[in-house]
Amino acid sequence: MNLGNLKQMTERGEKIAVLTCYDASFATLMEDAGVDLLLVGDSLGMVLQGAGSTLAVTLHDMQYHTRCVARGAKNIGIISDMPFGSYQISPEQALRNAARLMAAGAHMVKLEGGSVMADTVRFLTSRGIPVCGHLGFTPQSVHQLGGYRVQGRNTEDAERLLHDAMALEEAGAGLLVLEMVPAGLASSLTAQINIPTIGIGAGTDCDGQVLVMHDMLGIYPGKTPKFVKNFMQGAASVQAALAAYVQEVKSGAFPAAGHSF
């Protein structure tokens, strides 16, 4: 799986199924179930480490879990989150740390932020490091955003998100995660840019979907977000739940209206 494959999938109308993954065993299971991309998410701070946010996750944590996932996933794309504080100072800092994640087995790195990060995205992509952007609710900015809130509800915020998406695309980003934005806005934004969008709480019209593995298996003890579906309910095994997730993303059955804002 590479960026060219993703673009081809969207061109033929095939949805992209993405899940977070943190270890070799689940990487193998997900690949066998037909998941298209694995995201080594800094969500590990919450679901693995028990923290209240992603902010304490370190670059060492991300390298370790990326290596684990890469050992289990042989023929599937791996995206690794750049943790808080590892890329915001300068493009040069971002390059040093992105290179470490790529050396650990990532095929693409993900960073949060809009046009303010465009120069960093351009710096990385011009040096051979594929970048996935992340807009809408950005967990590393949870305190600045005032908590876990839907983004882009008013006209000004919606226009800002569209401007940010276009800036990231122009800078060379190859993929864009949209988190907790109104379904109508995500649909409009997806139609106006030429790179695939991956939604999480952003409606069904994105080019693909992503969920945190622990959420979609119903094993995270924290509060379940509105946009999550527990695929273990009615499934005979974890493998069956993973396959059901892939099937529902591909068919457009997930997310349903009740999972959207």
pLDDT for the residue 23 = 98
Q: Active-site residue 179, yes or no?
A: yes
Whether the pLDDT of residue 2 is over 90: the answer is no
Q: Point out the catalytic residue in the list 31, 112, 179, 248.
A: 179
Q: Do residues 176 and 169 touch, judged by C-beta distance below 8 A?
A: yes
pLDDT digits (tens, 9 = 90+) for 31-54: 999 999 999 999 999 999 999 999
Mean pLDDT, rounded, of the chain: 96
Q: How confident is the model at residue 1 (pLDDT cuts 50, 70, 90)?
A: low
Residues in Cβ contact with 248 at an 8 Å cutoff, skipping those fewer than 6 apart: 229, 231, 254
Tokens of 13: 């109308």
Whether the pLDDT of residue 118 is over 80: the answer is yes
Whether the pLDDT of residue 134 is over 70: the answer is yes
Indicate the residue type of 237: S
Rounded to whole angstroms, the Cα distance separating 17 from 195 reads: 16
Q: Do residues 186 and 197 touch, judged by C-beta distance below 8 A?
A: yes
Q: Do residues 216 and 210 touch, judged by C-beta distance below 8 A?
A: no
Stretch 167-192: mean pLDDT:
97
Q: How confident is the model at residue 258 (pLDDT cuts 50, 70, 90)?
A: very high
Q: Do residues 260 and 202 touch, judged by C-beta distance below 8 A?
A: yes
Stretch 229-257: mean pLDDT:
97
Whether the pLDDT of residue 147 is over 90: the answer is no
pLDDT for the residue 191 = 97
Q: What is the value of pTM for the model shown?
A: 0.96
Tokens of 145: 């955003």
Rounded to whole angstroms, the Cα distance separating 110 from 82 reads: 6
Stretch 161-185: mean pLDDT:
97
